[in-house]
Amino acid sequence: MKRFISFGLLACFVVLAHGQNADVQKSEAIMLETSRDYAGAAALYEAAAMGYEAQSVHDTLCLLRAGICYMRVKNYQKASDFFSKMETLNMASSELYLSMGENYAGLKKCDLSKDYFLKAIDLDASSKAAIAKKMATSMFNCGKYEDALLAADQVLADNPQDEHVMFIKVMAYEQLARYDDALAAGEALLAINPGHDRCIEKMGVLHCKKTDVAYDKEKKRYESMKNPTRVDFAVANRNLAAISQGYKNGIPYLEKVLMKNPNNAAVKAVLDNAKKRLE
């Protein structure tokens, strides 16, 4: 009888020790996450989650934060394991779905990413703008530029001066080769923040890209002629001279960038090409 009592007490002490260890690990994980040691926090959250599971407890915070911290260090597959486990355990929340949306974007599973962002909005419509902001960033990084624009517009409907999202629109339009729209979005951003360095650089590049398209099209038109006459040559030169004036719109932006950063090789190359075509 005494033996059974001893075994029972020992089992209780083991369970209690697991619980105490899990609590300590959880507290330490929270401190590490606060100090942005995401790798250390992820490992401790995972250990704490396992400790709680030894007591037949599924700790929502440990599972969620473990997934988020693994995602922060770009261990997207490990993060996915925690998020999927929570979904299987019916621990659905807007925060879980938001995290899954970001994580699937990291895994380049862009359609799933979009689906989970929309699920997050369905569960928490009051946070629609905040969720759409992360969706816009994730969709852009996924190469889903149309979806990025749609999400950006949702954000700007509530927060029309969100500079981060406004710049995403500039870049998304650029990737779609919609240069006029990109320039309009850039002008709107600079109207709010004239010192936005990345937008200033992008405006210079966009003006030159837009001009490059027209310039190259005219050049190709002339070069495709079988037997061009002197008149054809004169017309093509006149057209190229007129088109190249578009570079003048971009040059001031590019020169402004180089005043701050003379070693920006990419901007130098764009500027040199623009000036050469203006000669």
Q: What CATH number has the domain bearing residue 22?
A: 1.25.40
- Work out the average pLDDT over 125-148: 96
* 114 vs 32: CA distance, rounded Å: 30
Number of domains in the chain: 1
| The pLDDT value given to residue 171 | 98
pTM of the model: 0.84
Q: Which domain holds residue 30?
A: 1-91
* Average pLDDT score over the chain: 92
Q: Which two tokens stand for residue 113?
A: 């990413």
| The pLDDT value given to residue 11 | 35
Tens digit of each residue's pLDDT (9 = 90 or more) over 3-47: 434 433 333 333 334 456 999 999 999 999 999 999 999 999 999
Residue 77, domain member (yes or no):
yes
Residue 255, domain member (yes or no):
no
Residue 67, domain member (yes or no):
yes
* 174 vs 190: CA distance, rounded Å: 16
Residue 111, domain member (yes or no):
no
Residue 180, domain member (yes or no):
no
- How many residues in total does the chain contain? 279
Residue 85's contacts (CB-CB under 8 Å, 6 or more residues apart) are: 63
Tens digit of each residue's pLDDT (9 = 90 or more) over 143-202: 999 999 999 999 999 999 999 999 999 999 999 999 999 999 999 999 999 999 999 999
Residue 156, domain member (yes or no):
no
* 151 vs 14: CA distance, rounded Å: 51
In this prediction, residue 54 has a pLDDT band, given cuts at 50, 70 and 90, of very high
Q: List the Cα angle 136/138/144 in 5-degree steps.
A: 80
* 26 vs 16: CA distance, rounded Å: 15
